Chain A
Amino acid sequence: MADIVLDKVTKSFPDGTTAVHGIDLEIADGEFVILVGPSGCGKSTTLNMIAGLEDITSGELRIGGQRVNDRAPKDRDIAMVFQSYALYPNMTVRENMAFPLKLAKMAKEEIDRKVGEAAKVLELTEHLDRKPANLSGGQRQRVAMGRAIVRSPKAFLMDEPLSNLDAKLRVQMRTQVSRLQKQLGTTTVYVTHDQTEAMTLGDRVVVMRGGHLQQVGDPQTLYDRPVNLFVAGFIGSPSMNFLPATVEENALRCPMGELALDDRLRRLLTAADAPRQLVLGIRPEHFEDAALVDQAGKGFTFTAPVDLVESMGSDKYVYFSVEGGPAVAADLEDLAADAGGADVPHDRANLVTRLSAESRVRGGQEARIWMNVDKIHLFDPSSGRNITLQEEEPAGVAAS
């Protein structure tokens, strides 16, 4: 077991693509770290560099305190689980799991014992003599895990190991992976493009984008205190609402109306030397049906026509479209492109709110909605920076 340190690690491909830009990251011994980001952001490349499958263009990689830039994968003592599982089709499950041990020239009985143990942990004992082609997706995934754990390596690397499974199995396996990691206590770097997976699995989450680190922190910090628009929009489902906001004399004008600027906000805006045009971000759960709020004192109440109500049982998702147009920022276009680039009408902004199940709000009617002003985030549209975090030290590492 060992810690892993990336020191200004950069990867440029021969065709000129720079996939990873000088990443700094320290992964403690036994930690479970998730690399998350939209596809193409350099997660696999980073993982492959840790594995030794890709050369490091510049920077230094240390495992257990030793520089390993120039070591072949086999000399790094790291195991990897691939998205495609990469099971050897010509070998049985047993042979697949024994392969790394055989290469390590381990004694036969020892191999049998270890494979047997791993198979038991992963409930593969009765499949040991089958070929991968005859296994279900979940079983194959477990064989891939088994092949990684048999040799008790210094660290596990997993590249989207669950993304080939169907939704239900994925959730099951997620807990299994998590439990296994806790049980073994092995340093693990796990790559995914699924923010839910990232939030539920890791001790720490690293958000990446375009080859840069955006923010590193525990899931709650990323959720509550995103350093920029990208992280704010990427983490959380349904995602944060983004609305255009203009700083006026004593108020903040946004599509729902004018919010009074309190001292805290005023201070932050001056400190940040913020432009007049901002992006306001607020999560769906920070709205409530005004009728259900006892003291509407601190907060802001507005009226808007309801588009659609989705009842989830435990609560209701209520969709509004408010006049004033969607917020415009480069980061938001990126996020939209990643989410599938739904075309948004140009003169209205969509608002997603999560209200209590008791709410009586109905589709097609006007509704009075309360918004928790304490929870709003304000972003600089050109840099994406979260201005509302400025006063306290940011909990994570902001990019650049």
Chain B
Amino acid sequence: MSVSSTTPATTAEELSEGGRRELPQKRAKAALSEGKRQERRLGWLLCAPAALVMVAVTAYPILYSFWLSLQRYDLKFPSEREFVWFANYATVLSNGYWWTAFGVTLLITVVSVAVELVLGMALALVMHRTLIGRGLVRTSALIPYGIVTVVAAFSWRYAWTPSTGYLANLLSDGAPLTERASALSIIILAEIWKTTPFMALLLMAGLALVPEDLLKAASMDGASAWQRFTRVMLPVMKPAILVALLFRTLDAFRVFDNIYVLTNGANETSSVSMIAYNNLMKGLNLGIGSTMSVLIFLAVAIIAFVFVKLFGTAAPGSSDEGRR
């Protein structure tokens, strides 16, 4: 019987007479069996349609978008189309409206995600631990998740519309949706209402990973409820929390529907998505709209990069255990 004496990793032990003990020999990949080749082919074949659609609808347009962003291209003046290198970027980045929108987007993102994290954690604990009505709580919590954002936004809009709404009458000072500060607060409230349940569900999945015995042991060791939460539960849940934060941050950064319905961007409440949309659909300015698209894409990429690199968020699915 042959011993793989060519394998550098082979130690004296494996070379013992008879070679009864052999390390798994890592041979060159050249010798693929027929079954293996079939498996590969089947794998590619099954994935091809999904991959093609995803790449065709995202990769090509984003490149095309970059190409458009280097041109002056206004559908109202199609004859003036011209290649202008990075002039559009200079225009956008030196524009006050863009930075206002950027600030609004950041504000909405940071505040809503922070509040959602706290509320979501509370909701997750309630859903996970409640003694009664667990099904009822979970069912009601899913309603904000499932409901069409535009529908919820209309509900909030009418609630705060003077004379029509039940909430507008609570506050005496006129029309809250027409003042910047209160309008932004309402937008954030609408975001929080809509997405806290999703956050809570992700966190609840993390909670389920906390071993019950660990909590019991901690309380035997004299940890208070708060200490059990901070010292035992949070560390175990950290990966789930980071994933939830990443998803929600990127999602919040795309805020559009709520603003469109609640204020339509009036009184400087536009988000970046909103002004990109306005430049495109109202202004019909493809060059500037595309520039903004690319900038938003870059901003999102930076956020994702920060999460993954700085906080070490494990991208879901990256740990690939897909063996039978």
Contact = CB atoms under 8 A, between A and B. Distances in A.
> Do A and B have CB atoms closer than 8 angstroms in the complex?
yes
Interface of A: 12, 14-18, 21-22, 55, 57, 209-212, 214, 230, 330-331, 333-334, 382-384, 399-400
B35 A55 contact: yes
Q: Is the interface of B mostly helix, strand, loop or mixed?
A: loop
A274 B19 CA distance: 19
Given A22-B1, A400-B1, A330 B19 contact: no
A16 B25 CA distance: 6
Nearest to A330: B13
Contact of A211 (B22, B26, B28): B22
Interface string B245-259: 000000000000000
B212 to A, nearest CB: 22
Contacts of B26: 15-16
Range class of the B interface residue count:
20 to 34
Nearest to B13: A330
B27 A400 contact: no
Contacts of B13: 330, 333
A334 B22 CA distance: 12
Contacts of A17: 24-25
Nearest to A18: B25
Given A57-B33, A383-B16, A18 B22 contact: yes
B203 to A, nearest CB: 29
Interface in B1-52: 1, 13, 16-22, 24-29, 31-33, 35-36
Nearest to A381: B16
Contacts, number: 56
A214 B20 contact: yes
B24 A14 contact: no
A14 B20 contact: no
Interface of B: 1, 13, 16-22, 24-29, 31-33, 35-36
B24 A230 contact: no
Given A14-B36, A21-B1, A330-B13, A384 B24 contact: no
B186 to A, nearest CB: 49
Given A14-B32, A230-B20, A383-B18, 7 more contacts: A17-B25, A55-B33, A209-B21, A210-B20, A212-B1, A212-B20, A382-B17
Contact of B21 (A15, A55, A57, A330): A330
Contacts of B28: 16
Contact of B22 (A15, A210, A230): A210
A112 B278 CA distance: 72
A95 B116 CA distance: 49
Query: Would you list the 9 A-B pairs with minimal beta carbon distance, nearest first?
Result: A14-B36, A16-B27, A17-B24, A383-B17, A400-B18, A330-B13, A16-B26, A210-B21, A330-B16
Contacts of A18: 22, 24-25
A208 B16 CA distance: 17
Contact of B19 (A15, A22, A333, A400): A400
Given A14-B36, A57-B33, A334 B1 contact: no
10 contacts: A12-B33, A15-B26, A16-B27, A16-B28, A16-B29, A17-B25, A18-B22, A209-B20, A212-B1, A384-B16
